[in-house]
Amino acid sequence: MTTEKIDNVSVSTQASVYFDGKCVSHGITLADGTKKSVGVILPATLTFNTGAPEIMECVAGSCEYKLAGTDQWLTSSAGEQFSVPGNASFDIRVAAPYHYICHFA
């Protein structure tokens, strides 16, 4: 199921812009202190590094991703998610805008 709305949040108005504008996100904090980011990745192939474990939820579009240490590209579409371990990296390949929520574990 795709998250369509997140209520009762504080939003960082300053965007985080990565890879020359190919990824733009805003940090949000829920009432209970949980932190997430919401954003969009424009067409590109990018490599992200994680600190804490993450769950990438696709809310629109789709992507292909490959976790560090694997050779297989997998697909994630709207309503789907994938997990990335902490202190790791993943490659993401996007052909059309990919809208996501990053849930930090």
pTM of the model: 0.93
Question: CA-to-CA distance for 40 and 34, rounded, in angstroms?
Answer: 20
- 10 Å CB burial of residue 32 (0-12, 13-18, 19+) is exposed
Q: Where are the domains of the chain?
A: 10-104
Instruction: Tell me if residue 20 falls in helix, strand or coil.
Output: helix
Question: CA-to-CA distance for 63 and 74, rounded, in angstroms?
Answer: 8
Quick: pLDDT tens for 74-94.
999 999 999 999 999 999 999
Quick: pLDDT tens for 40-54.
999 999 999 999 999
Q: Which CATH class is domain 10-104?
A: mainly beta
